[in-house]
A and B are shown apart, each in its own frame.
Chain A
Amino acid sequence: MSEKVGVYICHCGTNIAKTVDVEEVALWAGEQDHVDVAREYKFMCSSLGQELIEEDIKEKGLTKIVVASCSPHMHEKTFRTACVRGGLNPFMFEMANIREHDSWTTDDREAATLKAKALTKAAIERVIHNQPLEPLPVEINPNTLVVGGGIAGISAALELAEAGNHVYLVEREPSIGGHMAQLDKTFPTLDCSACILTPKMVDVGQHPNITLLTYSEVEAVGGYLGNFDVTVRKKARYVDEEHCTGCGICIEKCPYKVVDNVFEAGLGARKVIYRPFPQAVPKYPVIDTENCVYFQRGKCKACQIFCPTDPNSIDFEQQDEILQIVVGNIILATGFDLFDVSQIPQYGYGRLANVFTSLEFERMVNASGPTDGKIVLRDLETPPESVVIIHCVGSRDENYHKYCSKVCCMYSLKFAHLIHERLPEAEVYNCYIDMRTPGKGYEEFYNRLLEEGTHFIRGKVAEVSDVARIEEEEGKLIVQVADTLISKQRRIPVDMVILSPAMEARNDSQEVSQLFRMGCDFDGFFVERHPKLDPVATMTEGIYIAGACQGPKDVPDTVSQGAAAAARVASFISRGTVMMEPIRASINQELCSGCRICNTMCPYNAIVFHEDSNVSEVITALCQGCGTCVAACPSGIITGAHFTNDQLLAQIEGILWDVRSNLDLVPVE
């Protein structure tokens, strides 16, 4: 059968045309075997460009189409759809990437043109062997897993649940709420963080469509878009959730206190049986077995003795529960960690008592925090007379994190405001490199602080020390900084220093990204499918990301991303089924020797072995088309659809067309 191939070379404006001689490539392509039409056009992806393909198929009876333009990531779907409109099977199309792989990589016009020819030739040779394929329908399980119960996870879960879909919300800590629950006020409007967050937490706790799994972690994830099998470990709380009323008598009666390093950032204490904070959702307490006297020494049981419920809600025998759930989509909203400021020795955290981190200060100014909202030094009594707030601690620094953490300028301004409000006599200094306040109402907030009399010093603080050089510095912390706007080195004696540390990826983000089989960048943040146009999807179908696990961001951005991820998932759920690419492996049953090598190689457990007929078979619904079995089969009788040997060998010969003609080599038949 003789094929009629249409070849279309795209200028992509000047993106391709400035380095590749597209006219030359089109003329040359027209002379190749099987090629019936070869054209070049300014923008093949425009509707006019697509119509060109459609009309040629109808008028000239083309059977195969090649477009040499950008990456298939961008426009493969566009051109396949154009082929379908013209009356061809979408798989009769092949794309050559002469932009990312060619014109963008060099300024050498001659070399770029030659490579464009090679890539186009490879696509022409391959497309001749392309076979028509039909997309596979996959059913979408309507349940969704949301990992992380911070504000991102809460927004995503509520959006989905409100739309009538079931959501499993998994949270590692005993309560949902995340970092936002620890904050006092939120910039720039200064509304109370807890007041706006807790209603949402309560909604999550009471929503009939949300299964809340707190104090739980995802252990394993299998399956794929539409049908993920997820294993969740629900850690033992040692409190029976069915009977506990959340009265809190056990917490009151527990005789032991420990420093709370998680919620109170080490500034306050909590009981050994505890709720992280009063508005915690769910309300059930949890026993910290590492510090519990009963678990360590076998005595006490005060909580059990005083528990008023019948039957008693304290259950020392409780075990971790392993839950198996099936979901169609997964949203990761695992949040961030705060940079460990003790890595920067010159700022003295841990060595100088009155150097605080931003999170410690948040807890301190919080009315329900360990100091009841009083701003005091480490002795928890003396209010400071002067405070320096240091920006960019670990951010914008090659030695720690290169990126800007985005939120620190704004919360440092907020801190300055809170100090002015509570200690009107105190002097407040903000030492910044650049003041970054992009956002609705943010610059206005900066203006407000300028008016309130905060001292702004443009310069990164060199060091904080307690070694006085003059009398005024005695007993103070001395902040040494170059005030770059007046070109002076300054030594500012103050009582308190607040460090604004970088937001960094969770320390286990690498493992989490492997668990969910999606990407994670060098900084540990999860990688989105497209930084502008697809910020909440990942390269793995069915897995979405929201909030600070994708990169530093503030509450409004986090909430938007949570809702955006939910919208993406909801559209899949309402479609019910999605069409997957039919790129699947198949085994020639007649030639299979039954060696079972492919059975163990398959990472998706998609190959079964039939004992009776002694052959293996691929379960198409489970196969992901990775090609491992195709390469592993010693008899070479497994075929990957759309990646057959014929197609690949033809492609290789195509790409080497000029080498072949120069060497007078005849391909082996």
Chain B
Amino acid sequence: MAAKLTFSKEIANLLYAMHGNPIKDCIQCGTCSGTCPAVEFMDHSPRELIAMIGANLKDEVLHSNTYWSCASCYYCNVRCPAGIDIADLMYALKRYSMWKDQYKKDLIGPKFSESFVKMIMRTGRSFEPVLAPSYIFKYGTRGIIQEAQTASALVLKGRLPLLPKKIKRLENLKRMVRRIIPIGEPS
């Protein structure tokens, strides 16, 4: 009899694959939530999210903005008494929700992540003008003007090239990324 693959097991497997401690080790102490600098932007705290994964609340977890609000500061990782890679758990949830196309649609995070990954896979470098459309419209008119001013100043100083540059031996990078995460396929 094949073991039933529940949502919590799927997520647990993602962490095992990254050699992390099992999320089942969580003792619900709240160190992560107490530590998190972005917790006020989250609809569920990291601790709650872990409990919700354990309870197989798949829809609620995937539609939460928690993992998109994570700033990847890794403070929770450092302090977690159960040694759980919480920041990596957030990344795992990002990838999972994108694969399954089940995430909260009106967030900047998914679009930003998608264009960021695609950009890296295409050129091997980060290039701000490609990323800007994913978040800039949230800023309002004044914000857009301010961003544009900063960008032109950077261009004039030669700090921001007008066209993205590619790294050498891009194929090697792509192969490397593909080995680590399946999302590395360029689309």
Contact = CB atoms under 8 A, between A and B. Distances in A.
B81 A459 contact: no
A397 B78 CA distance: 11
Indicate the member of A434, A463, A483, A489 with the most B CB atoms within 10 Å: A489
Given A487-B48, A489-B40, A489-B45, A482 B34 contact: yes
Nearest to B84: A398
Nearest to B80: A398
Given A480-B34, A481-B30, 19 more contacts: A397-B81, A398-B83, A399-B81, A433-B27, A459-B29, A460-B81, A462-B34, A462-B35, A462-B79, A482-B30, A482-B39, A483-B30, A484-B30, A484-B33, A484-B47, A487-B33, A487-B45, A489-B33, A489-B36
Interface in B1-43: 21, 27-36, 39-40
13 contacts: A396-B29, A433-B27, A460-B30, A460-B31, A460-B34, A462-B33, A462-B34, A462-B79, A480-B35, A482-B33, A487-B33, A487-B45, A489-B45
Indicate the member of A346, A434, A460 with the most B CB atoms within 10 Å: A460
Contacts of B29: 392, 396, 433, 459-460, 484
Contact of B81 (A398, A434, A482, A487): A398
B83 A399 contact: yes
Contacts of A484: 28-30, 33, 47
A346 B34 CA distance: 12
B169 to A, nearest CB: 40
Nearest to B33: A482
Contacts of A346: 79
A11 to B, nearest CB: 27
A392 B45 CA distance: 22
Interface in B72-123: 79-83
Contacts of B47: 482, 484
A461 interface: yes
A457 B104 CA distance: 32
Given A399-B83, A460-B31, A481-B34, A489 B39 contact: yes
A666 B185 CA distance: 61
Contact of A459 (B34, B39, B82): B34
Contact of B82 (A398, A462, A481, A487): A398
Interface in A439-490: 458-463, 480-484, 487, 489
A459 B32 CA distance: 10
Indicate the member of B21, B34, B47, B80 with the most A CB atoms within 10 Å: B34
Interface string B54-86: 000000000000000000000000011111000
B25 to A, nearest CB: 8
Contacts of B31: 459-460, 462, 482
Interface of A: 346, 392, 396-399, 433-434, 458-463, 480-484, 487, 489
B61 to A, nearest CB: 15
B83 A482 contact: no
B54 to A, nearest CB: 14
A462 to B, nearest CB: 3
Given A487-B45, A487-B48, A489-B40, A459 B83 contact: no
A462 B82 CA distance: 14
Contacts of A482: 30-34, 39, 45, 47
Nearest to A463: B35
Indicate the member of B32, B33, B40, B48 with the most A CB atoms within 10 Å: B33
- A-B CB proximity, top 5 nearest: A462-B34, A482-B30, A482-B33, A397-B81, A460-B29
Contacts of A397: 81
A460 B82 CA distance: 12
Contacts, number: 65
Contact of A396 (B21, B27, B45): B27
Contacts of A398: 21, 80-83
Contacts of B36: 489
Nearest to B27: A433
A408 to B, nearest CB: 14
Contacts of B79: 346, 462
Contacts of A392: 29, 81
A461 B34 contact: yes
A481 B80 CA distance: 13
A117 B100 CA distance: 52
Indicate the member of B28, B36, B40 with the most A CB atoms within 10 Å: B28
Contacts of B34: 459-463, 480-482, 489
Indicate the member of B39, B48, B81 with the most A CB atoms within 10 Å: B81
A462 B81 CA distance: 11
Contacts of B81: 392, 396-399, 460
Contacts of A396: 27, 29, 81
A261 B106 CA distance: 59
A392 B30 CA distance: 13
B30 to A, nearest CB: 3
Indicate the member of B28, B29, B33, B48 with the most A CB atoms within 10 Å: B29
Nearest to A460: B29
Contacts of B83: 398-399
Contacts of A399: 81, 83
A481 B83 CA distance: 18
A392 B28 CA distance: 14
B83 to A, nearest CB: 4
A434 B35 CA distance: 19
Indicate the member of B27, B31, B47 with the most A CB atoms within 10 Å: B31
B159 to A, nearest CB: 34
A85 B33 CA distance: 66
Contacts of B32: 482
A325 B73 CA distance: 60
Nearest to A490: B34
Contacts of A460: 29-31, 34, 81
A491 to B, nearest CB: 10
A156 to B, nearest CB: 35
A461 B34 CA distance: 7
A458 B29 CA distance: 7
A480 B81 CA distance: 16
Contacts of B80: 398
B53 to A, nearest CB: 16
A346 B33 CA distance: 15
Contacts of B82: 398
B48 to A, nearest CB: 6
Contacts of A433: 27-29
A458 B47 CA distance: 13
Indicate the member of B30, B31, B39 with the most A CB atoms within 10 Å: B30
A346 B79 CA distance: 9
Contacts of B27: 396, 433-434
A459 B31 CA distance: 7
A399 B77 CA distance: 11
A484 B34 CA distance: 9
Contacts of A481: 30, 34
Nearest to B31: A460
Interface in B123-164: none
Nearest to A434: B27
Nearest to A402: B81
A57 B139 CA distance: 94
A482 B33 CA distance: 6
Nearest to B82: A398
A397 B21 CA distance: 13
A443 B35 CA distance: 31
Nearest to A399: B81
A176 B34 CA distance: 43
A458 B48 CA distance: 14
Contacts of A487: 33, 45, 48
Contacts of B45: 482, 487, 489
